[in-house]
Amino acid sequence: MSALISVRGLTRIFDVSKPWLNRVIERKPKALLTAVSDVSFEIEENSVYALVGESGSGKSTIGKIMVGLVPPSDGHVEIDGVDLATETDAAKIEAVRADIQMIFQDPYASLNPRWRVRDIINEPVAAKGGNVEGLAERLLDQVGLSAADAGKYPHEFSGGQRQRICIARALASEPRIIVCDEPTSALDVSVQSQVLNLMSDLREEFGLTYLFISHDLTVVQHMADKIGVLYLGRLVEEAPRDRLFHEPKHPYTQMLFDAAPRMDAFGREVEPPKGEIPDAINPPSGCAYHPRCPIAVERCSRERPKMRKIGETRVACHLAE
């Protein structure tokens, strides 16, 4: 399979400084937050690539960069060979933008409360002058709702139904790629499974490629073909799903798996994760995980580990073996 999406050296830095006059009075420098730091990975066509990590690890920022909502500070995101940040051909940019859609974390916040569902779903196609006759009704049927729901407003639906509306809107422009930013985290467990099964079915039916952003390892295990683990904006490990769950190599990945609840582990004694996530404005030197790492050595605090391949796994750890 060919790589549909190629991310190389992606970095995003946000200026979170106080206003200029406050800084002058308090004699403080600019405060720069590194949300994503030198991340590289590839996503093959018709596959699901999952990004996992704690809150603040940069998952959503990468998703927003990919759909063009946030520009990168450095690095490249190529979609089908086109880099949206540097491409000058408007026709190519337009074609790529039409191929990519996003499903947001909070379904209610991403739906216009004043619009009927029909207008919400039709909008991506109507904006390009396409034919929207019967489109919303057909898509609502595909995502397990009724065509009669097209005339209702978002507040008339439950959380799971709203997320199905968001999926229908994402499908309206017939995209090849969908970025899913924690699409089930706001839903009940039973509704989560319905939405995830729907997304799996749609992937097979339409040949979709997903970038799946989540902190829930059980959801990722169900959905993903390949998984990238983020920590403080850095990709620390990447492996096919079964390989990662069977043999995690980075100490942070191992800590994530140990901390996750398991059905077969009632009564087990688990040591809680040590320490807090460091401040992204002032990250640790060397490996960002070394202040919390149980196997860290002096080299870890001095030298940032490079991503290297061990079998099927790519890992950024001096002591991965």
Task: Quick: pLDDT tens for 110-119.
Answer: 899 999 999 9
270 confidence band (pLDDT: 50, 70, 90): low
Q: Is residue 56 within 8 Å of 19, Cβ to Cβ? A: no
Q: Express each pLDDT in 215-266 by its tens digit.
A: 888 889 888 999 999 999 999 999 999 999 999 999 999 888 887 766 666 6
The pLDDT value recorded for residue 88 is 82
pLDDT of residue 155: 93
Please give the pLDDT value at position 32.
92
Q: Is the pLDDT of residue 211 over 90?
A: yes
pLDDT score recorded for residue 273: 67
Average pLDDT of every residue of the chain: 88
Lowest mean pLDDT among 7-11, 48-52, 99-103, 270-274: 270-274
Q: What residue ranges do the domains of the chain occupy?
A: 45-72+83-99+175-263+274-315
For the stretch 129-165, pLDDT in tens is 888 888 999 999 888 888 899 999 999 998 888 988 9
Separation CA 205–CA 202 (nearest Å): 5
Q: How confident is the model at residue 1 (pLDDT cuts 50, 70, 90)?
A: low
For residue 249, give every residue at least 6 positions away whose Cβ sits within 8 Å of its Cβ, in sequence order, or none: 237, 239, 310, 313, 315, 317, 320
Neighbour tally for 92: CB within 10 Å = 15
Reply yes or no on whether the pLDDT at 52 is more than 90: yes
Region 6-15: mean pLDDT is 93
Question: Taking 70 as the threshold, does the pLDDT of residue 172 lie above it?
Answer: yes
**CATH of span 45-72+83-99+175-263+274-315:** 3.40.50.300
pLDDT in tens, 292-306: 888 888 999 899 999
Percent of the chain topping pLDDT 70: 95
Per-residue pLDDT at 267: 63
Cα 32 to chain centroid, rounded: 22
CB of 234 closer than 8 Å to CB of 316: yes
Q: How far apart are the first and last CA of the chain?
A: 29
> Is the distance from CB of 200 to CB of 167 less than 8 angstroms?
no
| C-beta pairs of 245-249 under 8 Å, 24+ apart in sequence | 245/221, 247/313, 249/310, 249/313, 249/315, 249/317, 249/320
Q: Is the pLDDT of residue 269 over 80?
A: no
Q: Binning pLDDT at 50, 70 and 90, where does residue 47 land?
A: very high
Q: What is the mean pLDDT of residues 42-51?
A: 93
What phi and psi, each to the nearest 5 degrees, are found at residue 124?
Answer: -60, -30
Output the pLDDT for position 235: 93
Locus of tokens 């509306």: 165
Give the C-alpha separation, 225 to 44, whole Å.
Answer: 10
